[in-house]
Amino acid sequence: MSLRPNPPKMVTVLIALALLAVGVAGTLIDLETVSDIITGLSLPRGIEQDILGSIADRTIAYACLLASPLLLVLGSLLPGI
């Protein structure tokens, strides 16, 4: 069995970019800056609190940073992802 790399689907790339954005926001950017940006988006209060809570948790941020390139690798090696 040989794996032939294929370009990942666009949905996979978009999900990987979203994971990367959450990971970077949670690890590299100051939490106050992220809070100001998310508050400026005019999201419903519950969604806003959920987003800020997940970004404030460093474990989730690091997991997102790890999951982003893994998803792209899996998307290029496995067909249908």
Per-residue pLDDT at 52 exceeds 90: no
Is residue 66 included in any domain, yes or no?
A: yes
**Could you tell me the CA-to-CA distances from 4 to 10, 16, 26, 67 in Å, in that order?**
18, 21, 34, 21
Is residue 27 included in any domain, yes or no?
A: yes
Is residue 4 included in any domain, yes or no?
A: no
Is residue 5 included in any domain, yes or no?
A: no
Domain count for the chain, please give it. 1
Question: pTM for the whole thing?
Answer: 0.73
Is residue 81 included in any domain, yes or no?
A: no
CB proximity list for 62: less than 8 A, separation 6 or greater: 23, 26, 27
Tens of pLDDT, residue by residue over 1-32, are 666 778 888 999 999 999 998 888 888 888 88
Tens of pLDDT, residue by residue over 61-81, are 899 999 999 999 998 888 777
CB proximity list for 72: less than 8 A, separation 6 or greater: 8, 12, 13, 16
pLDDT of res. 22: 85
pLDDT of res. 2: 67
Is residue 47 included in any domain, yes or no?
A: yes
Domain residues for 24?
A: 10-75
